[in-house]
Amino acid sequence: MIVFLIKRLANAAVVMLIVALMAFVIFRFVGDPVEFMVNEQTTLAEREALRARLGLDEPVMVQYVKFVLNAAQGDFGISYRNQQSVMRLIAERFPATMELVLLATLISLVVGIPLGVITAIHRGRWFSEGLQFLSIIGVSLPSFVIGILLILVFAVTLGWLPAFGRGEVVRIGWWTTGLLTPSGRMAIILPAVALSFYQITLVMRLVRAEMLEVLRSDFVKFARARGVPARLVHYRHALRNCLMPVVTMTAMNIGALIAFALVTETVFQWPGMGLLFIQAVTFADIPVMAAYLVIVSFIFVALNTMVDIAYAIIDPRLRDAHS
Amino acid sequence: MTSLRTKFLSGIAAACLASAVSAETIRWGGSTDINSLDPYSYGSTYSLAFLNHVYEGLVRYDADLQIEPALAESWEIVSDSVWRFHLRQGVQFHNGAEFTADDVVASLTRVTHPSSPLRGNLPAFQSVEKIDEHTVDIHLIGAYPLLLNDLTNIFMFNAAWLRDNDSELPTDFGAGVEGYATFHANGTGPFVVEERVPDARTILAVNADWWDEPQHNLTRIEFTPITSAATRVAALLSGEIDFVEGAPVQDIPRLEAAPNVQVIEGPSLRTIMLGFNRRDTLADGRPNPFNDLRLRQAVAHAIDLNLIRDRVMRGRARVAGALVAPQIPGWSEDIDEPIPFDLALASELVREAGAEGFPFELTCNYDLWVNEEEICSAVVSMLTRAGLAPSLDIGPRAVQSPKMTSGVTDMFIFGWANEPMLDSFSILLQVARSREGTGGVFNWGGWVYPEMDALIDAAAVELDRDARLEMQNQALRIAREEMLMVPFHQQGMSWAVSDRVEYVLQQADNKVRHWLTRIAD
């Protein structure tokens, strides 16, 4: 197990190094941050001097190695745009994104699993087919369109929910949460629903496919033959056998949701990591972009590793294969 | 289920209560966040305008954009290169410290430090000297007529506060340290920073001890950046905010139709124009036909400015003939006559210049000026009709800017508001003049007109305002005759307010001045 863990950690380090390298190669195309930092009356010599002080005149590889050496010591530098430590900026935004992503995941499970079961057991009925059709819309509508539609209906027309922001937040240690205040709870509803749309569809379709599989199996037939009520057969016996892949996919997709949150956060002005990244791109804020990409890749690798470890614990055959 | 629903409804009720703001709070939905609370840290006009609510300069613009005393009560010119300022007495910083000459010395030293990105805002500054507690002398590198204009944008810090918090030098993010002034503010202005959460909100509370007689009736400003334009409009329509300074052009009819929203519009100071590469050869080595005056004139005659105004700008622009707006000193009516649209003449001129079917690139951003992408697409088709073969190179500002500044573009779009000087000397020195010293930083085409340079250099040291403006007007005239640039229009600015706002002052410099704003009781 320890060998397995060390291997995975080494893996993670390599992935992050490669992501950072790719990021630095791409940064040559995002433009010149100095252009944004100085104002109109700055002379060419002063611009060059600033560029030199930021180390932007050095070759890409030198910049990259410097970044990696500093990052290894936990120092991601100072944001050009906010003049704050990048580490602190990201740490401040992380709770907002995580709350949003976890709530969206929860919504997708709570809504997606029952819908999946219903469409499976009522296969061929009009409402089941209708839900299937709606789910295609859920997958194909871009999330900013969903976001804007939700704002139009619930903020502008009905006036029930706020259109932007995170409301009042409560600080618990370094974590900030909006879930403990009424305005914070109101504010998270629309972005979480918008973010969960795609995921709901995914969960629903996965559960449906698994259910159809399980409903054909012998133990379900036996249960029916014994006269076990249909509700128990479906929701206790069959559903349980479907949940393993759903849980795996949900865990792995948290990474993807963090990436998707970028668009949702921009539409709702949700002060999370995605919004930070989008604005860093607009202003060519290289330290923030580099740190964001590395940290998100770390989250991806960490989630994958955790899923692998969980599998190894559950299934002894995998454990043996590794040791 | 019942209890859940009750909770949900009570949640809504609570939210409604929370959003029931007191009569004197203005909720401002900004189009972007300010960069920092430190006005000397980032060259952003937007941040500076916001921080002007907290910090003040020695002088300021009044409601007619004329310079009036602020923290300095009066001033005199001691010699060509020395200005003496008499400071206002009895002014207090937000932390209670009294405003004195030491503060001016510390502030000017800080903003002109080599690592300050705003150093260029005081181009003629040499040193500052304390004469007594309430008098300072500012020494310049020579005679310089526009010191007061520059000083409107140079805000005063408290010297002791800077010293105590180890912030006497500007924040140097190259060195990898955070600055105290980035998160804390201590000015003399009409509002005090109460809270700042970057990208979420910045809350200002009224400064009860402000030295000036308040024209406003605000007690609080709640500033929330809402970068997505559609969300900003939605928040205004749903009554969650009271004021936006960036209402998107396509949503203006909708905002005007809403019963609880009022749109405030006007032409800004910013002139949008086209510039040409004027080096001997283009970046790809071909000989440069734009050095032929006839071709530049052809371009000007080929572009239908009225059509761009009516269709692209939806009427929200003022067609221009001069490089500066009418409010900018140096402007005169006779040089502002728009170049007439004449396709036949344009084609003829293209033929004469031997540039028929000449392929080149027009470089544009899509995120800098109002409807820039549409303007550039329109220009490309208009120039194609006149017999040229332009193609469009469009991208985000961060990518396009380096191409323009390094001079590899054949033709580029350009906008200039003459900020923060509000004088045509700004565009003449930084755009029209050939590159040398502080001159020609934005001379992206590499043009050289010795006659114009001579006028600009003479204006730079002319302390008599009328004589100086006469020279600047002449230089602008040469620019027009030589078709240095092809001016399009002054782009419009559109703000919108909710019905709670009784009065808000919109000036052509597009800066928000909430110390003049009134909320309905």
The pairing of beta strand B518-519 with beta strand B389-395:
unpaired
* A272 phi and psi angles, rounded to 5 deg: -110, -170
Nearest to A207 by CA among A292, A136, A286, A114: A114
Cα of B213 to nearest chain A Cα, Å? 32
Alpha-carbon distance of B403 to A35, in angstroms, equals 11
Residue with tokens 């195309």: A29
Distance from CA of A262 to the nearest CA of B (A): 12
Confidence of residue B472 (pLDDT cuts 50, 70, 90): very high
* A312 CA: distance to closest CA in chain B (Å): 40
Q: What pLDDT does residue B8 have?
A: 43
The 3-state DSSP composition of chain A as helix, strand, coil percent (nearest 5) reads 75, 0, 20
Model confidence band, residue B2 (pLDDT cutoffs 50, 70, 90): very low
Asked if the Cβ–Cβ distance from A42 to B441 is below 8 Å, we say yes
Give the start-end residues of each E strand in B324-377. 359-365
Nearest CB neighbour to B43, from listed A39, A166, A276? A39
Higher pLDDT, B299 or A12: B299
Is the per-residue pLDDT at B513 higher than 50?
A: yes
B231 vs A275: CB contact, 8 Å cut-off? no
Residue B420, preceding peptide bond in cis (omega within 30° of 0): yes
Q: What local confidence, expressed as pLDDT, does residue B22 receive?
A: 58
Q: What is the mean pLDDT of residues A290-299?
A: 86
**B386-413 burial, b if ≥16 CB within 10 A, otherwise e?**
bbbebeebbbbbbbbbebbbebbbbbbb
Distance of alpha carbon B133 from alpha carbon B143, whole angstroms: 26
Partners of residue A29 in chain B, C-beta under 8 Å: 399
Question: What is the rounded (10 degree) CA torsion for B173, B177, B178, B181?
Answer: -80
For testing the chain A interface, which of B32, B116, B203, B238 should be mutated: the one with the most A CBs within 10 Å?
B238
Q: Which residue has the higher pLDDT, B190 or A129?
A: B190
pLDDT higher than threshold 90 for residue A4: no
Residue A164 has its nearest CB partner, among B115, B235, B438, at B235
Pairing of strands B67-69, B72-79: unpaired
Does the pLDDT value for residue B70 go beyond 90? yes
In B203-232, the residues whose Cβ lies within 8 Å of chain A are 224-228, 230-232
- Highest mean pLDDT among A36-40, A114-118, B183-187 belongs to B183-187
**Burial class of residue A174 (count of CB atoms within 10 Å of its CB; 0-12, 13-18, 19+):** exposed
pLDDT band, residue A36 (cuts 50/70/90): confident
Choice between B383 and A285, residue whose per-residue pLDDT is larger:
B383
Confidence of residue A140 (pLDDT cuts 50, 70, 90): confident
Residues 190-219 of A with CB under 8 A from B: none
CA distances from B184 to B45, B54, B96, B110, B203 (A): 20, 11, 15, 16, 12
Express each pLDDT in B33-44 by its tens digit.
888 898 887 777
Q: Are B358 and B389 in contact (CB under 8 A)?
A: yes
What does the DSSP 8-state code read for residue A315?
Answer: -
Nearest to A197 by CA among A268, A129, A112: A112
Query: What are B87's strand-pairing partners?
Result: B72
**Which range is most confident: A159-168, A229-238, A305-314, B265-274?**
B265-274
Helix axes A86-121, A182-215, angle to 10 degrees: 40
- Please give the Cα distance from A109 to A119 (Å, whole number): 15
> What are the backbone angles phi and psi of residue B365, rounded to the nearest 5°?
-95, 170
The structure tokens 């209560």 sit at: B17
Instruction: Report d(CA B453, CA A246) in Å as an integer.
Output: 72
List all residues of chain B from 371 to 410 with a beta carbon under 8 Å from chain A: 396-402, 405
CA distances A287 to A89, A90, A265, A290, B63, Å, are 11, 11, 20, 5, 41
Q: How far is Cα B191 from Cα B184, in angstroms, rounded to an integer? A: 13
- pLDDT higher at B452 or B63: B452
Assess whether pLDDT exceeds 90 at residue B32: no
- Cβ distance A156 to B171 less than 8 Å, yes or no, reads no
Task: Number of A to B CB contacts under 8 A, please give it.
Answer: 191
Residue matched to tokens 């609510």: B53
Query: Comparing C-alpha atoms, which of A7, A2, A3, A8 is closest to residue A304?
Result: A8
Stretch A173-191: mean pLDDT: 87
**Residues A263-286: what's their mean pLDDT?**
88
DSSP-derived letter for residue B275 is E
Q: Chain A closest CA to B348's CA: distance in Å?
A: 38
- In chain A, positions 148-177, which contact chain B (CB-CB < 8 Å)? 148, 151-152, 155-156, 159-166, 168
Helix/strand/coil for A84 = coil
Q: Which of residues 32-51 of A touch B (CB under 8 A)?
A: 32-33, 35-44, 46, 49-50
Residue A45 pLDDT: 76
Q: Give the closest of A35, A163, A279 to B231, CB-based.
A: A163
Which residues in A lie closer than 8 A to residue B12 (C-beta atoms)?
160, 186
Secondary structure (H, E, C), B11-71 = HHHHHHHHHCCCCCEEEEEECCCCCCCCCCCCCCHHHHHHHCCCCCECEEECCCCCEEECC
Q: What is the mean pLDDT of chain B?
A: 89
Question: What pLDDT does residue A125 have?
Answer: 82
Distance, in Å, from the CA atom of B259 to the CA atom of B240, rounded to the nearest integer, reads 15
Look at A83 and B240 and tell me if their CB atoms are within 8 Å.
Answer: no
Minimum-distance CB partner of A83 among B173, B230, B438: B173
Residue B326 in this model has a pLDDT that exceeds 70: yes
Q: Which two tokens stand for residue B477?
A: 């005239």
Q: Given CB atoms, is B21 within the 8 Å cutoff of chain A? A: no
Burial of B456 (0-12, 13-18, 19+ CB in 10 A): buried
What is the torsion angle, in degrees rounded to the nearest 10, for the CA atoms of residue B147, residue B148, residue B151 and residue B153? -120
Average pLDDT over residues B172-188: 79
Q: Which residues of B touch A78 (CB under 8 A)?
A: 173, 176-178
Provide the residue count of chain A: 323
B139 strand-pairing partners? B82, B127
Give CA–CA dist B458/A62, Å, rounded.
46
Q: Nearest chain A Cα to B114, which residue?
A: A46
B73 forms beta bridges with none
Q: Cβ contacts (< 8 Å) between B167 and chain A: which residues?
A: none
Q: What is the mean predicted confidence (pLDDT) over A129-136?
A: 84
Q: Is the ipTM of this complex over 0.85?
A: no
Are the C-beta atoms of residues A312 and A60 closer than 8 Å to each other? no
Q: How many residues does chain B have?
A: 521
User: For A3-17, B218-232, B406-420, which range has the lowest pLDDT when averaged over its residues?
Assistant: A3-17
* pLDDT at residue B173, rounded to an integer: 60
Reduced to 3 states (helix: H, G, I; strand: E, B; else coil), residue B489 is strand
Overall average pLDDT of the B418-441 stretch:
87
B491 vs B64: which has the higher pLDDT: B491
CB within 8 Å: B179 and A83: yes
Bridge pairing between strands B501-503 and B518-519 = antiparallel
Lowest mean pLDDT among A70-74, A158-162, B106-110, B241-245: A70-74
Between chains, do A37 and B240 touch, taking CB under 8 Å as contact?
no
Rank B20-29, B280-289, B429-438 by mean pLDDT and report only the highest. B280-289
- Phi, psi values for residue A268, rounded to 5°: -95, 10
Residue of A69, A82, A151, A263 to mutate, testing the B interface (most B Cβ within 10 Å of its Cβ): A82
Ranges A218-222, A266-270, B479-483: which has the least confidence: A218-222
pLDDT in tens, B88-103: 999 999 999 999 999 9
At residue B42, φ and ψ (nearest 5 deg) are -155, 135
The band of A53, judged by pLDDT with boundaries at 50, 70 and 90, is confident
A273-282 and A286-314 helices cross at what angle (nearest 10)? 140
Spatial separation of the C-alpha atoms in residues B241 and B100, rounded to whole Å: 38
Q: How far apart are CA B496 and CA B261, in angstroms?
A: 7
Residues 71-100 of A with CB under 8 A from B: 75, 77-85, 88-89, 92-93
pLDDT exceeds 80 at position A203:
yes
Place of tokens 């408290």: B158
